A and B are shown apart, each in its own frame.
Chain A
Amino acid sequence: MNIDYTERLKPATDDFMTIHLADQGEGPSLRHCTHDYQVSCGNCRLASICLPLALEQDDIQQLDNIIQRSKPLQKNQHLYREGDEFQSVFAVRSGTLKAYKTTDDGREQVTGFYFPGEILGMDGISSNTHASSAKSLETAAVCEIPFTSLEKLSALMPSLQRHFFQLMSREITEDQQLITLLSKNSADERVASLMLSISTRNARRKLSATQFRLPMSRVDIGNYLGLTVETVSRVFSRMQKMDVLKVDNKEIEILDLEDLRGMANLGS
């Protein structure tokens, strides 16, 4: 399966509020989370990278009040589907989700992965319908933040509003950088960029930047990067041979972060 990513990117490049947020966190009632699954924003371990980031204790309580926490998503369960009415944004509490669009000929095109502390669903903000679907790659818990309530609250809390738009701008920027990456860069550069991205995001939530388990399959990676599964595997082997990465099925160890950066060739 060789994905024509120029075709895939076309709608995305012209699609301007293709916005998802990054980062947010509070505590939903997530069964899956090994720690605290009845956490509130106030004592969520993701609070430092999520929406409460810039808030005072009282304000965090108010934010917490608008958040809805529902049952965890099972593997492959949808959070929302393309075309659904946009009502909320979601913060990943635990697990990983992927966002994808369905191409005109019915294929799935992965457009993003969302890790704990990151926000998804922003792609619906301008058009009021979700421009993509989101489903969980493993058991996952999310906090639902009804957008109207969030907007009302933001109007009262400048720091929440500011942080919200900061997250939104980061999400848009990363989205766009990916689109450019896919349209310009070699297979090695693409795979290296994704590994770097996961590493950075892990570090953001105080996890190891060099050792992690990939929550997504090779197929999803290939789909996301516009590469065949064989190519993804070949690149991983090459990186192993060069002692940049150690790959054991889904377990990744980055042996040389500098070399990996060099391979990603992201420019300044």
Chain B
Amino acid sequence: MYNTEKIDVMPPIDKKDTRHDNLRLAAKYASQGPRYTSYPTAPQFSEDFPLDQYTAWQTGAGDHRRAPLSLYVHLPFCKDICYYCACNKTVTRKPGAARHYLDHLLTEIELQSVLVGNNRPITQMHWGGGTPTYLDNAEITELMHGLASHFALLDKGYREYSIEIDPRTVDHATVALLKGVGFNRVSLGIQDFDPLVQKSINRVQPYREVANLVDCIRNHNFRSLSFDLIYGLPHQDTQTTAETLDKVISLAPDRIACYNYAHLPDRFPSQRAIDRLDLPTPEEKLLLHEIIAETLQEAGYLHIGMDHFVLPTDELAIAQQEGRLQRNFQGYSLRMAEDLLGLGASAISQMGDFYLQNERDLQQYYDQLDKQVLPIEKGFKSGREDRLRKHVIMSLISELALDINDCNERFGIDFNASFDRELRILQAMEKDGLLAIGGDSIQVMEKGRPFLRNICMPFDAYLTTASTPPPGAYSATV
């Protein structure tokens, strides 16, 4: 027998070249930068922002009283710590912790529904954490009932109601419940399937169990299943990554989001449990990133940007082609609501020209609500310049293109004159084939998709005035 497979193992020459070229670019453009889930980004929010103007706008007349609204619900508790995690969370198994939080969250829901109104159709909702499934089934039901009593939740098929699931915390009954209370999308925190990697990050979830859960999720007809993966974790190498990707592809999630692990043990104490020497080197990490992008695209996934890969049949892929994709604190989603209301400790809202962030400290969050006061800690009011730059950045990051004529018309500017400095920076990237600058549009090329942050950063006025971001303020761009 001829072993023809052996020949195929060698990557074709052009693929090798592509990889080499991509790695060269990755090394060149590697730096730290924001993920642009907002513009300006959260570090610009401050305690002295005009809260009174915000409430006046909320209660004033206008279309925003009826416009669709997206909800984000933050549930900060985890039963165990995952060493890599940099989220706002509290690790506890204390009985009653969830109950205490839920009571306050329900108060916030009541207060917010008075301010924001209960007529706005909730087209999108996302529960994130921490671990939303830290709540037991009765608490999940109670929270959804609380939301349904104070906001206009929808039972339409087009709604996007999603929840993050820690595969270790849910059984089949909970999956059925989540579907029954209205969720139609789930995302699973996979991170990596390698047992040693899982052990080293204190998140052991065997492939078999995950596969079983995925089966159950499929049986319950959720509209979309999304996986989160992390690269740059301890003990990851090309071998483990290839194996993880194999398993991921076999489970065929509709969406895959890859995140870059940033090792910042000074800022995130739990990361001290990770031995620096077990981490892949920066060069290895670039290679892992390249292998992920390569493998997923070979398996038929499209890279929509910011290391988010989706099946071509997924709504996000279709929305991107049709210019209906948006980016906010929930990542990429269909553009169904301009405003986002964040509920829970540390949650961020995006409302009209305002950004608001809730108290991140749990006790502060509780104290404010005990006084029947909205637990807003910080905010930002966007001016005209901010709105313009936000439009440019969000267009590039979501639609992978900017229509310059449309931008001129919208904002009454001469784009090419106003952004002369920025365009000159982009021209250097154009030489590397990342994008194409024309008289009336900027197009991000296939090759430029891994470098969206780099492409957007020149338009970020707060980065250039402060010259460089403080170390560790943002994760690495690639």
* Given A126-B148, A173-B180, A177-B176: A184 and B219 interface contact (C-beta under 8 Å): yes
CB atoms of A267 and B137 under 8 A apart? no
Q: Which residues of A contact B137 (CB under 8 A)?
A: 166, 169-170, 173
Question: A69 to B446, alpha carbons, bound, how many Å?
Answer: 69
Question: A14 to B182, alpha carbons, bound, how many Å?
Answer: 7
Give residues 117-169 of B contacting A (CB, 8 Å).
137-142, 145, 148-149, 153, 155-157
Query: B145 CB to closest chain A CB, in angstroms?
Result: 7
The count of chain A contact residues (Cβ–Cβ below 8 Å) is 28
CB atoms of B172 and A268 under 8 A apart? yes
CB atoms of B145 and A180 under 8 A apart? no
Closest residue of chain A to B161, judged by CB? A16
Q: Mark A139-169, 1 if CB is under 8 A from B, else 0.
A: 0000000000000000000000111011011
Query: A141 CB to closest chain B CB, in angstroms?
Result: 27
Name the interface size band of chain B: 20 to 34
Q: Which residues of A contact B220 (CB under 8 A)?
A: 176, 180
Q: Which residues of A contact B140 (CB under 8 A)?
A: 169
CB atoms of A14 and B141 under 8 A apart? no
Question: A154 to B139, alpha carbons, bound, how many Å?
Answer: 14
CB atoms of B148 and A17 under 8 A apart? yes
CB atoms of A169 and B141 under 8 A apart? yes
CB atoms of A175 and B219 under 8 A apart? no
Closest residue of chain A to B149, judged by CB? A126
Query: B153 CB to closest chain A CB, in angstroms?
Result: 7
* Given A17-B182, A175-B180: A165 and B142 interface contact (C-beta under 8 Å): yes
Cβ-based interface call for B181 (8 A): yes
Query: A71 CB to closest chain B CB, in angstroms?
Result: 31
Cβ-based interface call for A256 (8 A): no
* Given A16-B181, A16-B182, A166-B138: A180 and B155 interface contact (C-beta under 8 Å): no
CB atoms of B221 and A183 under 8 A apart? yes
Q: Which residues of B contact A14 (CB under 8 A)?
A: 155-157, 184
Query: A130 CB to closest chain B CB, in angstroms?
Result: 15
Q: Which residues of A contact B155 (CB under 8 A)?
A: 14-17
Query: B100 CB to closest chain A CB, in angstroms?
Result: 11
Closest residue of chain B to A178, judged by CB? B176
CB atoms of A16 and B153 under 8 A apart? yes
Give residues 167-226 of A contacting B (CB, 8 Å).
168-170, 172-177, 180, 183-184
Q: Chain A's interface: helix, strand, loop or mixed, by majority?
A: helix
CB atoms of B221 and A180 under 8 A apart? yes
* Given A14-B155, A126-B153: A169 and B221 interface contact (C-beta under 8 Å): no
Question: A257 to B228, alpha carbons, bound, how many Å?
Answer: 41
CB atoms of B221 and A172 under 8 A apart? no
Cβ-based interface call for A125 (8 A): yes
Cβ-based interface call for A18 (8 A): yes
Q: Which residues of A contact B180 (CB under 8 A)?
A: 16, 18-19, 172-173, 175-176
Q: Which residues of B contact A162 (CB under 8 A)?
A: 138
Q: Mark A1-44, 1 if CB is under 8 A from B, else 0.
A: 00000000000011111110000000000000000000000000
CB atoms of B182 and A267 under 8 A apart? no
Question: A184 to B137, alpha carbons, bound, how many Å?
Answer: 24
Query: B222 CB to closest chain A CB, in angstroms?
Result: 10
Q: Which residues of A contact B179 (CB under 8 A)?
A: 13, 176
CB atoms of B173 and A173 under 8 A apart? yes
CB atoms of A169 and B177 under 8 A apart? yes
Q: Which residues of A contact B408 (CB under 8 A)?
A: none
Partner of A165, one of B139, B148, B212: B139
Question: A18 to B173, alpha carbons, bound, how many Å?
Answer: 16
Q: Which residues of B contact A177 (CB under 8 A)?
A: 173, 176
Give residues 212-253 of B contacting A (CB, 8 Å).
212, 215-216, 219-221
CB atoms of A165 and B153 under 8 A apart? no
Residue in A17, A169, A184 with the greatest tally of chain B CB atoms within 10 Å: A169
Closest residue of chain B to A11, judged by CB? B155
Question: A41 to B200, alpha carbons, bound, how many Å?
Answer: 54
Q: Which residues of B contact A165 (CB under 8 A)?
A: 138-139, 141-142, 145
Question: A126 to B173, alpha carbons, bound, how many Å?
Answer: 22
Q: Which residues of A contact B219 (CB under 8 A)?
A: 180, 184, 267
Residue in A13, A162, A173, A183 with the greatest tally of chain B CB atoms within 10 Å: A173
Question: A173 to B171, alpha carbons, bound, how many Å?
Answer: 11
CB atoms of B216 and A267 under 8 A apart? yes
CB atoms of A268 and B212 under 8 A apart? yes
Query: A184 CB to closest chain B CB, in angstroms?
Result: 6
Closest residue of chain B to A177, judged by CB? B176
Residue in B149, B172, B177 with the greatest tally of chain A CB atoms within 10 Å: B177
Question: A170 to B220, alpha carbons, bound, how many Å?
Answer: 16
Q: Which residues of B contact A175 (CB under 8 A)?
A: 180
Q: Which residues of B contact A170 (CB under 8 A)?
A: 137
Q: Which residues of B contact A125 (CB under 8 A)?
A: 145, 148
Closest residue of chain A to B140, judged by CB? A169
Can you list 24 contacts pairing A with B, beta carbon distance less than 8 Å? A14-B155, A16-B181, A16-B182, A17-B181, A17-B182, A18-B180, A19-B180, A165-B138, A165-B141, A166-B138, A168-B145, A169-B138, A172-B180, A172-B181, A173-B137, A173-B176, A174-B176, A175-B180, A176-B180, A176-B220, A180-B219, A180-B221, A267-B215, A267-B216
Contacts beyond the supplied A176-B180, A177-B176, A267-B216: 12 A-B pairs with Cβ under 8 Å:
A16-B182, A17-B148, A17-B181, A17-B182, A19-B180, A168-B145, A169-B138, A172-B141, A172-B177, A172-B181, A180-B221, A183-B221
* Closest 4 pairs (CB-CB, A-B): A16-B182, A172-B180, A176-B180, A176-B176
